Amino acid sequence: MVLEAVVLIVDNSEWMRNGDFSPSRYDAQFDTCNLICGQRSEDNAQSSLALITSAGDRSEVKVTLTDDIGEIITALHRVKDKIGGKCNFAQSLKIGQLVLNHTRNPHQALRIITFIGSPIFDTETELVEIAEILRKNKISLDIISFGETEVNDSKLELLFKTISKESGGSSLIKVPPGLGVSLSDFLRQTPILASIGNVNQQGETNEFGVNPNMDPELYLAMQLSREDYDKTQTPGDNTQVPPLVPDEDVNMYDDDEVEKAIKLSLQTGAMDEVQPEGGTKTETKDNTKPTNPSIDQNEQVDISKITPEFLQELFGKMEGVDLTNPEILQLIAQFKQQQNEQQKEQKKEDKKD
């Protein structure tokens, strides 16, 4: 589990009253901060957070590093009543760096998460200077740019490029305008809100959706389960039978296919009774379905001796065959009609004799 000291820098400038993010930019920022605090606390209860505002006469530390999430949320509510002025972006980053110099646990990783929803008035030189300070002190920086992304793009790109020269722990998230989802939902797909350990620098999650840092035993168990499953699979297991496409001019069931199915049924004991040439049915003595070893693979089966009822029963025992399928019903009807015609012809021949 990641142990961090995180400074949240929120933008409380006049631009945060805009309603392009529902219900306002500040409210969207507030919801996201709430999620970030909850996630950091769940990942490691010993992680600590601080809160800084970037707008007004100067940047202010509202909450120093603490593990009390309720204190952060309460301060965010109070900041909402003091929206105004312009953002002091570079100054807030410097103050954030100073706050992280007073961590209570020297093993905590240092990180600043800053929101910027208004124009940046600092020069590029000032931004490069603060980026060098953060990089020297091994402080990672996550930047969430929304609302004024086009205006701030070049400055933020320069800042991010400078701080990322030696390490990849920082991220620059540009939130496009006109989102169909909330700001927090959009950021769930990024390293900032996605589970730590499941996300790489591009914000991609692993196939199991499990944080190996938080629950390594579960992650290992899922890996082993997946490997065992892959070993048991054969090339034919995933083969799907393509659906039959009926053609009005072509009979999709040939007599040869019906004969093969009947032969297979006779050999495996699928018939309860067989009608011999004499016309008298020979019934089995018990309910055990007998096999007929006298059937030869190359022997032709007389279709006229197979009843439509047996054919219907035969298809009912075939895996994946639906007896309510109109195509199956049509086949049985055609078979029955063919059998009736053969019986009529047989009767005519018997009368001639």
**pLDDT given at position 166:** 73
Give 330's pLDDT tier (boundaries 50, 70, 90): confident
Q: How far is CA 114 from CA 179, 218, 271, 285, in A?
A: 20, 33, 77, 86
**pLDDT given at position 81:** 87
Pairing state between β 48-53 and 60-66 = antiparallel
- The beta-strand segments (E) located in 249-313 are 273-274, 282-283
Which two structure tokens, joined as six digits, stand for 319?
Answer: 């895996």
Give 36's pLDDT tier (boundaries 50, 70, 90): very high
**pLDDT given at position 70:** 92
Q: How far is CA 12 from CA 48, 94, 99, 327, in A?
A: 22, 17, 19, 68
Average pLDDT over residues 161-171: 86
Which two structure tokens, joined as six digits, stand for 202?
Answer: 């591009």
- The beta-strand segments (E) located in 12-66 are 48-53, 60-66
Q: At residue 7, does pLDDT exceed 80?
A: yes
CB atoms within 10 A of CB 282: 9
Under 8 Å between Cβ of 263 and 295: yes
**pLDDT given at position 344:** 80
**pLDDT given at position 233:** 59
Q: At residue 271, does pLDDT exceed 70?
A: no
- In DSSP notation, 148-208 reads SHHHHHHHHHHHHHHHTSS----EEEEPPSS-SS-HHHHHTTSTTTSPTTSB-TT-PBPTT
Q: At residue 96, does pLDDT exceed 50?
A: yes
Give 267's pLDDT tier (boundaries 50, 70, 90): low
**pLDDT given at position 335:** 73
Average pLDDT over residues 328-342: 76
Radius of gyration of the chain from its Cα atoms, rounded to whole angstroms: 37
**pLDDT given at position 126:** 96
DSSP state at residue 81: G
Report pLDDT digits (tens) over 190-228. Answer: 888 764 333 333 333 455 555 454 455 565 666 667 666
**pLDDT given at position 336:** 76
Q: Which three-class secondary structure state does DSSP give residue 4?
A: strand
**pLDDT given at position 323:** 66
Q: Which of 130-134, 146-150, 201-205, 298-302 has the lowest mean pLDDT?
A: 201-205
Under 8 Å between Cβ of 3 and 108: yes
Q: Which domains does the chain have, with CATH numbers?
A: 4-215 (3.40.50.410), 255-352 (no CATH)
